Chains A and B, each alone.
Chain A
Amino acid sequence: MNAYTTMQQMLEMADDVRRAFGEGDPGGLYPPVDIRATEAEVVLVAELPGASRDDLVIEVEGRHLTLRGEKPGPAEAADATPVHRERRYGKFERTFELNFEVNREAIAADFRDGVLTVRLPKMEAARPRRIEVTGG
Chain B
Amino acid sequence: MKHHLTRWDPFALTPRPGTGHPLFRPSDTLQTSTWVPPLDLTERSDAFEVSVELPGLAADQIEVNYERGTLVVRGEKRTDSAASDGTWYRLERSRGAFSRAVRIAAPVNAEQISASFRDGVLTITLPKAAEAKRHQVQVTS
- Which A residues contact B (CB, under 8 angstroms)? 4, 7-8, 10-12, 14-15, 18-19, 23-26, 29, 32-39, 43, 45, 47-52, 74, 76-77, 79-88, 96, 113-115
Provide the bound-state CA to CA distance between A62 and B57, in Å: 34
- Which B residues contact A (CB, under 8 angstroms)? 10, 21, 23-24, 27, 29-30, 33-45, 48-49, 51, 53-58, 68-70, 72, 79, 81, 84-94, 98-103, 119-121
Contact B58 A12 (CB under 8 A): no
Contact B55 A48 (CB under 8 A): yes
Contact A74 B40 (CB under 8 A): yes
Provide the bound-state CA to CA distance between A35 and B94, in Å: 13
Q: Kindly identify which residue among B29, B51, B70 contacts A87, using a CB–CB cutoff of 8 Å.
A: B51
Provide the bound-state CA to CA distance between A32 and B81, in Å: 14
Rounded to whole Å, the gap between the CB of A23 and the closest CB of chain B is: 6
Provide the bound-state CA to CA distance between A80 and B99, in Å: 26
Rounded to whole Å, the gap between the CB of A119 and the closest CB of chain B is: 12
Which 3 A-B pairs rank lowest in CB-CB distance, beginning with the nearest? A114-B120, A49-B120, A24-B36
Q: Kindly identify which residue among B23, B33, B35, B121 contacts A50, using a CB–CB cutoff of 8 Å.
A: B121
Q: With A47-B56, A49-B120, A50-B121 in contact, do A86 and B90 touch (Cβ < 8 Å)?
A: no
A32 proximity list for chain B (CB < 8 A):
92-94
Contact A87 B38 (CB under 8 A): yes
B103 proximity list for chain A (CB < 8 A):
8, 12
Contact B40 A84 (CB under 8 A): yes
Which residue of the partner chain A has the closest CB to B120? A114
Which residue of the partner chain A has the closest CB to B53? A49
Provide the bound-state CA to CA distance between A86 and B27, in Å: 22
Contact B86 A37 (CB under 8 A): yes
Contact A33 B92 (CB under 8 A): yes
Provide the bound-state CA to CA distance between A48 and B53, in Å: 9
Which residue of the partner chain A has the closest CB to B10? A10
Q: With A34-B90, A115-B56 in contact, do A4 and B23 touch (Cβ < 8 Å)?
A: yes
Q: Kindly identify which residue among A15, A38, A88 contacts B86, using a CB–CB cutoff of 8 Å.
A: A38
Q: Kindly identify which residue among B27, B39, B88 contacts A14, using a CB–CB cutoff of 8 Å.
A: B27
Contact B93 A49 (CB under 8 A): no
Contact B58 A113 (CB under 8 A): yes
A87 proximity list for chain B (CB < 8 A):
38-40, 51, 53
10 pairs, A vs B, C-beta closer than 8 Å: A12-B103, A14-B30, A15-B36, A24-B98, A34-B88, A35-B90, A47-B56, A74-B51, A79-B44, A80-B42
